[in-house]
Chain A
Amino acid sequence: MTGVHPADPLEVLLARYAESRLAPSTAQMTGLRSRLVQAYVIRAVREPRPAPRRIYPRWRWAFILATVLALTAGSSLAAAQSGPGQPFYHLRLSLESLTLPAQGSARVHALLDRLDARLAEASAASQRGDHGAAADAVAAYEDTLAALRASVESSGSDAFVIDRLAQHAVVLENLLDRLPPPAQQGLQHALDQTQRARDAISRRPASQPGNGPPTWAPGASQHTSGPEQTSSPEPTGGP
């Protein structure tokens, strides 16, 4: 027997007693075994064992999905109405970046449109005295500019890009005069980046013909690919 020491006479006697007086006969055990296995099988067939309890039943998944959709829709709605300096502004920009063409001149055009939009936002914020929002828009402008440089290098379209960036530089210089010193630092950086981008694109081999419009008119972009084309950046001239 399990764990019983065999050396003790009393325990040996108890074991012999159990063997001779308490043990069932083979016939008893065989008959019982047959009946019980049969009962077990019948029960298993009639009442299949319940599946392991799900941690997340189906209705809960549906609830989670609905919640996620509601949150996404709400966030998207809030983001679509957010301008620079507002909580969902960067979420809105991230969502917009998802709609950009993957490559080629279409992507370059779309990025230029976004640069226009960021400048328009910066100008509008500056006019209403919201320097934080203006700085936010200028920072977003810089991010978009970096993406533009990468896209121009792969697409080969550059002549009209240089033209558009020249116009942007004028707008940025005008803004520079209107923003307070803390915001001027970021704006100056953006201006420098714009100039570097123009220089870098100018040093590249001549662009292929037919790559987009050669000129730029503020607020009259020909390639609107996002909802941000609501206002135009200031062209030239001071306040």
Chain B
Amino acid sequence: MTDHDERRDIETLVQRAKRGDHVAFTALYDVYAERLYRFVRSRVRDDLDAEDLVQRVFLKMIEALPRYQERGRPFAAWLFRLARNAVIDHGRTRHPAEPLAHAVGAAPGPGPEEVALTALEIAAIETAMDALTQQQRDVIAYRFFAGLSPAEIGALLGKREGTVRALQFRALVALRRELAEQGTPDRPFDAETESIR
């Protein structure tokens, strides 16, 4: 399925959900809930906050859906803008902006999948992420944690797709450099060999 087909399918679901079709709403939840959660989870203190924020984002979506109009902007961009605003509000009202290493490190405990990732690697990534600029962190989170396309990120941030790709490139270079400076065990990252995709 092409990006165009996928986007058309999503818009069809959105239109049905606007008319009160709960099956369509459930399908939209299934498409976006986990991706929203990953994005939010990378920005807040713990799982409970993340779950609470994702719920708030969807409730806001239910409220705002009747007024939603595509206008050439992907639905994902609209939805993640709600999420970004929710995260910003959460940071203002409850917790100051927190480094990723502290935020994720406060999680109750490693899940079963975490066995595949060493504690050293996790710590290295989180420390390296904290060294990035806010914009670079955002692009990494949208692209690699939430799985948004450069076009969707561009629509979300109000930037051109090419600009987003360049931002992503610089973020990965910076991340690779940070990881290299930390001296990860097998040093798999070479800051000089990254290319723009």
Contact = CB atoms under 8 A, between A and B. Distances in A.
A17 B147 contact: no
Contact of B47 (A15, A16, A24, A44): A24
Interface of B: 3, 17-20, 22, 25-26, 29-30, 33-34, 37-38, 41-42, 47, 50-51, 54-55, 58-59, 62-63, 66, 104, 107, 110-111, 113-114, 116-117, 121-122, 125, 140, 143-145, 147-150, 172, 175-176, 179, 188-189, 194, 197
Contacts of A17: 117, 121-122, 125
Interface string A20-59: 1111110011001101110111011000111000000000
Given A1-B144, A39-B62, A22 B22 contact: no
B37 A21 contact: no
A16 B33 CA distance: 18
B55 A36 contact: yes
Contacts of B29: 33, 36-37
A4 B38 CA distance: 16
A22 B33 contact: no
A162 B49 CA distance: 102
Interface of A: 1-5, 8-11, 13-25, 28-29, 32-33, 35-37, 39-41, 43-44, 48-50
Nearest to A16: B117
Contacts of A11: 144, 172
Identify the 7 closest CB pairs spanning chains A and B, nearest first. Answer: A1-B147, A44-B20, A20-B114, A14-B144, A22-B38, A9-B188, A22-B41
Contact of B145 (A18, A39, A49): A18
A1 B175 CA distance: 19
B83 to A, nearest CB: 13
B14 to A, nearest CB: 13
Contacts of B20: 44, 48-49
B34 A18 contact: no
Contacts of A16: 116-117
B117 A4 contact: no
A23 B113 contact: yes
A220 B147 CA distance: 94
Contacts of B47: 24-25, 28
B149 A20 contact: no
A199 B3 CA distance: 80
Given A10-B172, A13-B121, A22 B104 contact: yes
B147 A20 contact: no
A33 B42 contact: no
A4 B114 contact: no
A41 B172 CA distance: 42
B178 to A, nearest CB: 11
B18 A21 contact: no
